[in-house]
Amino acid sequence: QGIFDYEAEHMVSQRIALVGDAAFVVRPHTAMGVSKAAGDAMALRDALRQTDDLPAALARYQNIRLPVGKAIAAYGRRLGETAM
C-alpha cells in the first residue's frame, strides 16, 4: 500500500471550506486523522459563531487551521523518515 501526503495550499475558496482529509491527507502512522478532522470542524464552528460575515469567518478558520494541518503533515514525514 502506498503512503503519501497531500497538503492543500488553501482550506477556503469563496464559500467552500475544506475540513479533515479534504485539506490534508497525512501519513497513517500519525494516528491523527479523526483528531485533525474534529479540530477543523470545531474551529470552523467557532469561526462561524463569531461573526455573520462569512468571508471573514472562513478567513479566520483558514488562518487558524492551515498552519496546524501543515505541522501535522510535517510531523508525519518526520515519523516516516525516522522509521525507515
Q: Give CA–CA dist 36/68, Å, rounded.
A: 9
Question: Is 32 domain-assigned?
Answer: yes
The whole domain housing 72 covers 6-83
Task: Note if the pTM is more than 0.85.
Answer: yes
Q: Identify how many contiguous H helices and E strands the chain contains and give both numbers.
A: 2, 4
36 and 50 in contact (C-beta within 8 Å)?
Answer: no
- Among 26, 23, 31, 40, which Cα is nearest to 72's? 26
The residue behind cell 492543500 is 8
pLDDT, tens digit, 9 for 90 and up, residues 11-57 = 999 999 999 999 999 888 888 889 999 999 999 999 999 999 999 99
Q: Is 5 exposed, middle or buried (0-12, 13-18, 19+ CB in 10 A)?
A: middle
Mean pLDDT is lowest, of 15-24, 59-68, 74-83, for: 74-83
Question: How many domains does the chain divide into?
Answer: 1
* CATH code for the domain of 11: 3.50.50.60
**1 found inside a domain:** no
